[in-house]
Structure 1
């Protein structure tokens, strides 16, 4: 059963807006005034994964904006544009459409992949980046080539290359989304209570919004299939340069998808200030599993930015 996109417009201490950017319409949830901090989600989530950070950042004097990436939530779901170069252009255009010249870009999972890429692909709008639960794209590629452990950890993406079947599994009854959340999270997350069940329901429901499951798979299909193609070579060449802006890199010690050694190897691509924090007993879904720690680390880091 499909779900209308309005189902992802959860109420809270934020305002929902729709902005036109890079030829598409994007949904954002916004709170506060001040320097912009743009928050990008990962799979299988949407903007709501930042529900703890939005009000905290706003209260601290920042304009916090959580965005539904292309193909997710209440944003447009065009048939193309799921390559990282286009996604980074989306983010930059949203920043400008919201009237800002620059933003700190924080991202989790795929959002973190885009955040890592922003200094190279969209330097004029990128003040600093805070990737979470992801390695720099070239550090990840290097680990997949050289590490049997990381290849095994990344094997879950292989079924996503199949046509149609992953989409059907993701939208059938919510069971696969729930397994992904539990399999990637640390012990006891999502919690076995009403709050945990709300998390499971919210993301299973969001995946049933028409075309979301297909769009989500297109991220994985592009990153695998583009490896031998010209567009993949262009992307790797573009991000093969030192990241000069400040980087806050957060990672769960129990992340089963991106191993800690892989995440730490990202430091070789950071030429500017780089801070790495490993969160003990936390899995892949860092902003939700450790919301207080993530918020505190973000605020301390933001306060010290030039």
Structure 2
């Protein structure tokens, strides 16, 4: 479906001095869409109109550090607890009469998994796109195969160098990653890429977004993840199997930790499954939310 931006409302909310931008559309049960790295609310351009047409109210934020949201300084500002608290603040500020469905892709998926553990009262259903449960990711880091796929996470621990590499030649590395990742020709148009470049060009944006990875490896940051609590709400994991960053073996969460999960694999989709195979993703999403 085509996104009609004239039907979107651009809004801001604030938590602990950090202003968060989000787009909102539709009426009905609340669905919150959390984008990944290095993206923005616009990554959900195919899902927003489908959800609105199906009778849902959609909120799609720019995660802190991204696009029009504030970019607080310091690695600690991007600790997982700060990110999940932002999601809680968005839901509470929405005035929704019931708990929300939360949908997360990539880093947004990581935030969504942790949000489900920390704020179960605010969550009705959970949808994850190409992001392993935190415990599965930790297990993956113990294998040479996943470590090779995750090389960039360790490169991002360097100070300043990743930012310099990423912005070289008008963000060529990031543009090529988004352009070449999808299996579907034309999944990422030049006009789409221009939206991402504008987001990366915001002052402080590159450092802020890379700080997600730096915060992830800070001492103590994985303490809660190593002993995760159960997620009892219904969970749908959608997994594009041509994922160059995450092994397909990471898709299914431990049933003892996530007893009500279903995994839907899409063989001809990449890591960016939400715009690579949007019709299939929308079908799965709407069937699950009904």
TM-score, reference length from structure 1: 0.87
For residue 187 of structure 1, report the CA deviation from its aligned partner.
5.6
For residue 278 of structure 1, report the CA deviation from its aligned partner.
0.8
Contact 1:38-1:105 at 8 Å conserved across structures: yes
Q: Residues 44-81 of structure 1, C-alpha deviation per residue, up to 9 Å, x if partnerless?
A: 11000011111111111111111110110111111142
Aligned to 1:40: 34
Matches within 5 A, 1:18-33: 18-33=12-27
Q: In the aligned structure 2, how far is the partner of 1:168 from the partner of 1:11?
A: 33
Evaluate the alpha carbon distance shift between residue 188 and residue 269 of structure 1 in structure 2; reply closer, same or farther with a 3 A threshold.
farther
Q: In the aligned structure 2, how far is the partner of 1:249 from the partner of 1:270?
A: 14
Contact 2:34-2:109 at 8 Å conserved across structures: yes
Contact 1:109-1:134 at 8 Å conserved across structures: yes
Q: In the aligned structure 1, how far is the partner of 2:121 from the partner of 2:14?
A: 19
Q: Residues 153-178 of structure 1, C-alpha deviation per residue, up to 9 Å, x if partnerless?
A: 11122221111121122233120111
Residue 154 of structure 2 is aligned to residue 167 of structure 1: no
Residue 115 of structure 2 is aligned to residue 118 of structure 1: yes
Aligned to 1:262: 250
Aligned to 2:146: 150
Aligned to 1:97: 93
Residue 66 of structure 2 is aligned to residue 72 of structure 1: yes
For residue 17 of structure 1, report the CA deviation from its aligned partner.
0.8
For residue 262 of structure 1, report the CA deviation from its aligned partner.
1.3
Q: In the aligned structure 2, how far is the partner of 1:200 from the partner of 1:12?
A: 20
Residue 176 of structure 2 is aligned to residue 179 of structure 1: yes
Unaligned runs of 5+ in 1: 1-9
Aligned to 2:226: 236
For residue 235 of structure 1, report the CA deviation from its aligned partner.
4.5
Alignment size in residue pairs: 283
Evaluate the alpha carbon distance shift between residue 130 and residue 223 of structure 1 in structure 2; reply closer, same or farther with a 3 A threshold.
same
Evaluate the alpha carbon distance shift between residue 91 and residue 62 of structure 1 in structure 2; reply closer, same or farther with a 3 A threshold.
same
Contact 1:136-1:269 at 8 Å conserved across structures: no
Q: In the aligned structure 1, how far is the partner of 2:234 from the partner of 2:23?
A: 25
Aligned to 1:302: 289
CA RMSD of aligned residues (A): 1.8
Q: In the aligned structure 1, how far is the partner of 2:23 from the partner of 2:158?
A: 33
Unaligned runs of 5+ in 2: none
Structure 1 stretches of 4+ with a deviation exceeding 6 A read: none
Aligned to 1:276: 263
Q: In the aligned structure 2, how far is the partner of 1:205 from the partner of 1:151?
A: 31
Q: Residues 7-47 of structure 1, C-alpha deviation per residue, up to 9 Å, x if partnerless?
A: xxx93431111112343211111110111000000011100
For residue 270 of structure 1, report the CA deviation from its aligned partner.
4.3
DSSP 3-state at the match of 2:177: helix
Evaluate the alpha carbon distance shift between residue 12 and residue 259 of structure 1 in structure 2; reply closer, same or farther with a 3 A threshold.
farther
Matches within 5 A, 1:196-215: 196-215=189-208
